[in-house]
Structure 1
Amino acid sequence: MSEAHGGEQAGWLCGFSVLCCLTLACSYVGSLYVWKSELPRDHPTVIKRRFTSVLIVSSLSPLFICVWKQLTGIKTDASLLYLMGFRFEGIISATILPLLLTMILFLGPLVQLSLDCPWDFLDGLKVALDPRFWLLCVTDMRWLRNQVIAPLTEELVFRACMLPMLVPCTGPGTAIFTCPLFFGVAHFHHVIEQLRFRQATVISIFLSAAFQFSYTAVFGAYTAFIFIRTGHLVGPVLCHSFCNYIGFPAIFTALDHPHRAIVLLFYILGVTLFFLLLYPMTDPTLYGDIPICHLLEKGSTGYGSLCS
């Protein structure tokens, strides 16, 4: 009888956790369409309105965890902000190491960009240190969306709020691969706009959407891994911003590059080093006590090696 009751409790917890995550994902995407407009998504007016919407949804998203905790009876000593990755312990490591690890993964594309860049290192450094360059960036609505607002709000909603609700049900390992599904599906809303403005054929739009879903799901699993291993939100946000800047690696361009041997060597080297350093550079001992792991009992089958 007790086993049956325990199964019912587990089923209720998982069902309600998934429902909360689905509602949160739909709220985030739905907020983009509360404004009626005939303008494309990259128009500054549309971007500003959507900033307002997603910032409101993101600021209210912690309420989902509060309601979830109340209705499921999940107990933890960690505060809500700690569970969401807002903490100072290990902040320096959490800021530097995940971003460095991601840059290692993209070593090939970075070398490719540097070889194609018309500036030398000193010229690039002068531009990077020029306040006028950053003033142009922060006044560019698309730059703000891609490098600041989207990484911050998406990681807050799809990682910091969803993972604490999924981990007690699925364990950290399964949560890493479950959470990105909401993230990937959320990006299907681009199909609506592409069809609306006839930006390509129907088949090419859906093929592009399927590819984007796959890419964002893999990327979401990676940032979910970082969030659970480090217990910080800053790492996923910075990695998200960096990946938005670099974009998907131009592998076919690399095959036709004048310095193809060098570029491909760094592609292979980057991926190899990434997998060798993935666990050492995200070792939880570098980041202090991991709050999200408090949602699991130590030694339980769901605890796994991700939290230790």
Structure 2
Amino acid sequence: MAPFAGLITLLGSNCSKAVGSCLLLACTYVGSLYIWRTKFHRDHPTTIKKRFVSVLIMGVVSPLFVVFCSEKTYFGERGSLPTLLGFRWKGLLQAFVLPLGLTMVLFSGPLLLHYLDGVCGLYLKSRYWMSNLRNLIWLRNHIVAPFSEEFTFRACMLPILVPCFGASLSIVICPLFFGVAHLHHLRERMERSTNTTHAVFQSLFQFLYTSLFGVYSAYLFLRTGHFMAPFIAHAFCNHMGFPDFIEVLSYKQPVRTFLVILFLLGFFGWLVLLEPLTKPAIFSNLVYV
């Protein structure tokens, strides 16, 4: 029994180290956003530019946690730092196309709403894209935030968690750090709102859906072994926003029924396609299998 007890102690120690490292990394990421002294709100250009600097610095700091806190012997010869972080050429195109297509299936209903609202027509206009590329809020929401968050909370945390907890359990544990990290928005909401209850409810709701998305994102990363997969899914979800179920009710029949059916078909289609479209072999993933 002594060797067995020793193994449990060692495992517990390693797991505590992994969780502690990820918690410290999450706190460091959020803390980097607030080191700047500013009186402006989060959407002010000055605040956005300063936070761009913060996440750029975190792009250097976060991989150090993988270097010093991950059990690289678990991965053997396939455990080079770029590979663990999901940066490799083989399977890159598949990691862009398939997760994006899979996520679009999930958003079939909202995509039809965009078409009915005339939003889709904007995507064909170069002026729309040129305007967005000069818009700091758009750049933050669609490029900088998805990239930095997926890099820190997936690419740099999962290599630390997987050797201890395994892939399946890490998919559940990792998003909790991502969800908790979004609770910092509560402070900003309470500063701008007089309704404390509403601000708290918004933050708890955000914690729930960011944690759920985190499960999906972690799944994509471990199944594909590519950083591109969760990044493109995150960017697309940020673009679409949370589905507006209330808008569906504003349409008259039979359009309303068709929209409801499409929302459901999108969800169940996504469930059916999730496993076959993320088979590790498609992406030449030998890292996290």
- Please indicate, yes or no, whether the TM-score normalized by the shorter chain is above 0.5: yes
Show the counterpart of 1:142.
137
Aligned partners of 1:22, 1:2: CA distance in 2, in Å?
A: 30
Instruction: Give matches, 1:79-158, under 5 Å.
Output: 79-117=80-118, 123-124=121-122, 126-127=124-125, 130=126, 132-158=127-153
Is it true that 1:268 corresponds to 2:264 in the alignment? Answer: yes
Show the counterpart of 1:196.
191
Is it true that 1:180 corresponds to 2:181 in the alignment? Answer: no
Show the counterpart of 2:76.
76
**Residue type matched to 1:184 in 2?**
G
Task: Give the C-alpha shift of residue 196 in structure 1.
Answer: 1.9
What whole-Å deviation, never above 9, does each CA across 1:114-171 have from its counterpart, x for those lacking one? 1111x7x7x54541xx2x4322112111001000000000000000010111111111
Aligned partners of 1:144, 1:222: CA distance in 2, in Å?
A: 23
Show the counterpart of 1:215.
209
User: 1:192 is paired with a residue of what secondary structure?
Assistant: helix
Aligned partners of 2:98, 2:176: CA distance in 1, in Å?
A: 26
**Normalized against structure 1, the TM-score is what?**
0.89
User: 1:61 is paired with a residue of what secondary structure?
Assistant: helix
Show the counterpart of 1:300.
none
Q: 1:133 to 1:205 in 2, by over 3 A?
A: same
Show the counterpart of 1:251.
245
Task: Give the C-alpha shift of residue 265 in structure 1.
Answer: 1.7
Aligned partners of 2:169, 2:162: CA distance in 1, in Å?
A: 8
Unaligned runs of 5+ in 1: 294-306
Q: How many residues align?
A: 285
**Residue type matched to 1:185 in 2?**
V
Q: 1:281 to 1:141 in 2, by over 3 A?
A: same
Question: Which ranges of 4 or more aligned residues in structure 1 deviate by more than 3 Å?
Answer: 72-75, 123-126
Aligned partners of 2:75, 2:285: CA distance in 1, in Å?
A: 17
User: 2:37 is paired with a residue of what secondary structure?
Assistant: coil
Aligned partners of 1:202, 1:285: CA distance in 2, in Å?
A: 49
**Normalized against structure 2, the TM-score is what?**
0.95
Aligned partners of 1:95, 1:290: CA distance in 2, in Å?
A: 18
What whole-Å deviation, never above 9, does each CA across 1:269-306 have from its counterpart, x for those lacking one? 11111111010000111011331x2xxxxxxxxxxxxx
Task: Give the C-alpha shift of residue 200 in structure 1.
Answer: 4.3
User: 2:285 is paired with a residue of what secondary structure?
Assistant: coil
Aligned partners of 1:272, 1:69: CA distance in 2, in Å?
A: 36
Is it true that 1:230 corresponds to 2:224 in the alignment? Answer: yes
Aligned partners of 2:199, 2:226: CA distance in 1, in Å?
A: 35
Aligned partners of 1:279, 1:47: CA distance in 2, in Å?
A: 37
User: 2:7 is paired with a residue of what secondary structure?
Assistant: helix
User: 1:86 is paired with a residue of what secondary structure?
Assistant: coil
2:199 to 202, 205, 219: 205
Aligned partners of 1:84, 1:187: CA distance in 2, in Å?
A: 22
Report % sequence identity: 42
Unaligned runs of 5+ in 2: none
Task: Give the C-alpha shift of residue 73 in structure 1.
Answer: 6.1
2:285 to 273, 282, 289: 289
- Check the 8 A contact 2:150/2:231 in 1, yes or no: yes
Aligned partners of 1:263, 1:236: CA distance in 2, in Å?
A: 27
Show the counterpart of 1:23.
24
Show the counterpart of 1:279.
275
